[in-house]
A and B are shown apart, each in its own frame.
Chain A
Amino acid sequence: MKTTKTILSRRRFNAVSILALAGASAGVGLSKPALAQALTPKSGGSLRIARTEEIDGFKLDGEFSDETNEVSQNVIAPLLRFDSSGLNVVPGLAESFVVAADGKSITFQLAQGARFNTGTPVTTDDVIFSVNQWKAGPNFGSMYVDIASVTKLSDTSFRFNLSSPNLSLPAFLTWSVAGVIPNNFAGMKADQFWLTPIGAGAFSVKSWEGTGNVHLVKNPYYYRPGLPYVDEILSTLPDANQRALQFQSGEVDIVSELGPIEARRYPKDKLIESEVHYTDVLLFNIQYPPLQDIRVRKAIAMAVDYKAIVDGLYRGLGIEPTGFLPPNVGMWEPPSKPYYRQNIAMAKALMKEAGITTMQLELLFPPNYSLVSQIVQQSLQAIGVDVKLNPTDSGTFVSDASAGKYQLAVWAYNAISPNIGDPLSWITSTSYFFTNYPLKDLQAAANELFVSRTPEEEKAAVIKIQDLGTDQLAFLALDHYKIGTAVQSNIHGVSSPPWANIYYDEIWIS
């Protein structure tokens, strides 16, 4: 693996910023109190964020994009949070949570004085109502079905009784889709509530549009004393050129979730880089006969020029695939054997063994995946596979991919919480990532992971899952790459996990 860090990593960025500030202070004669003042968080100001994705809205079960997850987490607070490394679950609206020794229940205590942005206290009844909402969702309901019941211990403490142990459940409780909302939608009709949501997060929604334009204002009843620092957050969804121009002119403070190609347009000293995590994938629709043959899929996997993607396209912001699951997330383990690498001779031999000399395939891909798709197209020429590129818009891609109307497709996926069960849940709840590959074996292995009780069991279960993903090859990981967050130098407190979602409550402006 070859990873040349051309951009500062998040930890290095923070350290260097502090050292630079200290150095600068020495140079210009700043006194120690002045330096301390410069580093002391202060309240007030407006934070302007330029986004790269639209906002899906605040209806919990309809929140898909990473940007939606980020905004919603800061408005409709979930019970738990993740730390900045993306490796650990930490308390959130629930100030403590204790998993029983047998793994079959989790007991929570709500944060002292926790209130919704209306000033109404958050109670166990609200949590019970919220859990029922989560479970009823057609998209994410399956993530929470293991919560068989909720026992009310007091107005502010409760116990989730699980139908079976679920190691990944605490991570799923950090998701925005598991936000806590008021009992009976605070007396509103559900549709109206989702348009004007009430939550216990750091901010309230003043106005929003599906385009990404969101205006948030400080929640005066936020459960973390003294936070949030900023008074309001204004976010927009400009195109890539406008994002760069607005950042250059100082009209926006943060540009969030920059892909590795776009990230290169930003000054290195203002870019916070996540760990490699996001994973480009090549999906094989196994309903299409030639792709039912594992030899053909393996031949394709051995024909792909991974180095061209990593070195030519991502240039230091990506690595060759290490397995089919995104790395740098809690409990991740590599497969027991090396993942696929380019080997044209072996790929040709596999095609010959499958009795195929030439073949035509159509490759479906949404916007922003054009260059990766072109590399795949060129790679497969070497084994006699003529790939016709079929670019489409995001909406059509989602419709066609989920309906199995494709042969090959390029897309990407990632976790949004600190547990490998997160991306795994995506795979298992989408007809094995839209490939229609039988889920039985993978689901069984995933269940082993969810009920594992020791680190050794967890490790073995993840390795087994990785091996299954490698052997079955329903889809192929093409690379793992980093996400960048561009931050002006007067903005502090921005930390981002591998999926680059930001908690807004600790951000301050100097």
Chain B
Amino acid sequence: MIPLLAGIILVVFLLAKVMPGDPARLAVGLRASPEQVAQARAAMGLDKPVIVQYFIYLGHILTGNFGYSYKSHMPVTTIIGAHVPITLWLLFFGMGFSLLISVPLGVLAALQRDRMIDHIIRAFCVLSLAMPMFWVGIMLITLIALPTHVFPVGGFGTDFFGHLRGIILPGLTLGIAMSPVMIRSLRATIIKEISSEYVNAAKSLGVSGSRLMIKFIFRNALSPVVTLLAYQLSYFLFGDVIVEMTFMLPGMGEGIIDATVQRDLPLVQGYTLIFALSVVLVYLLADIINSLLDPRIVIDS
């Protein structure tokens, strides 16, 4: 993991180097003279050899110093720290909606295999996969937020209930976008479990109905779905950028876009690093969950 993190830091550093624009000019201002820009460049260490700049950057990162925003001059960690909770809200609600949609539909589709209801649910899955996330968001704004005024068309509100109102539609958008894969996975797993030997054995012992479904089939079918959900979290992080921009939620997704547009390099580097670290951690988490749910993985590994 350490070489992977070192590689990520190197890539993030190099990305900033190849971005167009002069950070010194942006930091000091439009009207500053070339001499003043040169002074700023020196003060920012941009006149040093790239390799020296890299090791200075690495040293700062390892000590938790992500630098200061060129734009607002605030510490990068402070700015990102303010955006993280909103993204966590969105991920939590996105995952929640995803489970709320996919678990009942996945179970229903499996139990009604090849019947009309199964075809409808599968068609919904295909349709959901074909719908871009931003389009789903715009549809929810147009069809729900604007006519009803129950939910805002954008923003995160200023108090707890404002946050709650502001997160429902973005969470639903993320949930709708994520559910098809989960539904299909759950359906396939349940169908497989239904025809497995232990289920037949349970049936022959007189176990049936909801007890058979919940205690035997669903419990075993859930394991790969939870693993899939953990892996999906990394995809959630990218979907998060789109959803935050659609609903103007001031989370990490909106933050990285704004920082990029403003050529605020320390901030771009900070966000990129945090996103990359999050993906690495999520995969690690998925592996841990997988091993907890399926002891064979521990034995194999």
Apart from A139-B32, A210-B71, A251-B155, list 18 A-B contacts with CB within 8 A: A54-B71, A54-B258, A138-B32, A140-B31, A195-B74, A209-B79, A209-B250, A210-B258, A236-B248, A245-B141, A245-B153, A248-B146, A248-B153, A396-B20, A396-B21, A399-B25, A399-B263, A429-B31
Q: A249-B146, A429-B31 in contact; A211/B258 too (CB < 8 A)?
A: yes
In the complex, A62 has a CB within 8 A of chain B: yes
Q: A195-B73, A211-B258, A395-B262 in contact; A249/B153 too (CB < 8 A)?
A: yes
Which residues of chain B from 236 to 274 have a CB within 8 Å of any chain A CB? 245, 247-248, 250, 254-255, 258, 260-264
Write the A59-100 contact mask toward B (1 if CB under 8 angstroms, else 0): 101101000000000000000000000000000000000000
A429, B29: Cα distance in complex, Å: 12
In the complex, A456 has a CB within 8 A of chain B: no
In the complex, B158 has a CB within 8 A of chain A: yes
Which residues of chain A from 205 to 223 have a CB within 8 Å of any chain B CB? 208-211, 213
- Chain A residues lying within 8 Å of B138, measured Cβ to Cβ, are 241
A400, B21: Cα distance in complex, Å: 7
- Chain B residues lying within 8 Å of A242, measured Cβ to Cβ, are 153-154, 247-248
A392, B261: Cα distance in complex, Å: 10
Within the complex, the shortest CB–CB distance from B73 to chain A, in Å, comes to 6
CB pair B73–A139 under 8 Å, yes or no, is no
The 10 closest A-B pairs by CB, nearest first: A395-B263, A210-B72, A139-B31, A210-B71, A139-B29, A399-B22, A138-B32, A396-B21, A245-B153, A399-B21
- Chain A residues lying within 8 Å of B28, measured Cβ to Cβ, are 138-139
- Chain B residues lying within 8 Å of A211, measured Cβ to Cβ, are 250, 254-255, 258
- Chain B residues lying within 8 Å of A250, measured Cβ to Cβ, are 149
Q: A138-B31, A251-B155, A402-B30 in contact; A392/B250 too (CB < 8 A)?
A: no
- Chain A residues lying within 8 Å of B152, measured Cβ to Cβ, are 246, 249, 251
Within the complex, the shortest CB–CB distance from B257 to chain A, in Å, comes to 10
CB pair B154–A245 under 8 Å, yes or no, is yes
- Chain A residues lying within 8 Å of B149, measured Cβ to Cβ, are 249-250
Within the complex, the shortest CB–CB distance from B147 to chain A, in Å, comes to 10
Q: A62-B29, A194-B73 in contact; A395/B261 too (CB < 8 A)?
A: yes
CB pair A61–B73 under 8 Å, yes or no, is no
Which residues of chain B from 24 to 41 have a CB within 8 Å of any chain A CB? 25-26, 28-33, 36
Within the complex, the shortest CB–CB distance from B150 to chain A, in Å, comes to 11
Q: Kindly report which residue of chain B lies nearest to residue A208, judged by CB atoms.
A: B72
Q: Kindly report which residue of chain A lies nearest to residue B40, judged by CB atoms.
A: A138
Interface bracket on B: 35 or more
- Chain A residues lying within 8 Å of B261, measured Cβ to Cβ, are 393-395
Which residues of chain A from 180 to 214 have a CB within 8 Å of any chain B CB? 191, 194-195, 208-211, 213
- By a beta-carbon cutoff of 8 Å, the part of chain B in contact with chain A is 20-22, 25-26, 28-33, 36, 69, 71-74, 79, 82, 138, 141, 145-146, 149, 152-155, 158, 245, 247-248, 250, 254-255, 258, 260-264
Which residues of chain A from 27 to 61 have a CB within 8 Å of any chain B CB? 54, 56-57, 59, 61
- Chain A residues lying within 8 Å of B29, measured Cβ to Cβ, are 61-62, 64, 138-139
Within the complex, the shortest CB–CB distance from A67 to chain B, in Å, comes to 13
- Chain A residues lying within 8 Å of B245, measured Cβ to Cβ, are 239
- Chain B residues lying within 8 Å of A194, measured Cβ to Cβ, are 73
The 29 listed contacts between A and B (C-beta, < 8 Å) are A56-B71, A138-B32, A138-B33, A138-B36, A139-B28, A142-B31, A194-B73, A195-B74, A208-B72, A209-B79, A209-B250, A211-B250, A242-B247, A245-B146, A246-B152, A246-B153, A246-B154, A249-B146, A249-B152, A251-B153, A251-B154, A393-B260, A395-B263, A396-B21, A398-B25, A399-B20, A399-B25, A403-B22, A403-B25
CB pair A236–B155 under 8 Å, yes or no, is yes
Within the complex, the shortest CB–CB distance from B38 to chain A, in Å, comes to 12
- Chain B residues lying within 8 Å of A236, measured Cβ to Cβ, are 155, 248, 250
Which residues of chain A from 277 to 304 have a CB within 8 Å of any chain B CB? none
- Chain B residues lying within 8 Å of A140, measured Cβ to Cβ, are 31
- Chain A residues lying within 8 Å of B255, measured Cβ to Cβ, are 211
A64's contact among B30, B33, B158, B263, by CB below 8 Å, is which?
A: B30
- Chain B residues lying within 8 Å of A241, measured Cβ to Cβ, are 138
Which residues of chain A from 225 to 257 have a CB within 8 Å of any chain B CB? 234, 236-239, 241-242, 245-246, 248-251
A480, B82: Cα distance in complex, Å: 40
In the complex, A430 has a CB within 8 A of chain B: yes
Q: A57-B72, A209-B79 in contact; A392/B146 too (CB < 8 A)?
A: no
CB pair B25–A392 under 8 Å, yes or no, is no
- Chain A residues lying within 8 Å of B73, measured Cβ to Cβ, are 57, 59, 191, 194-195
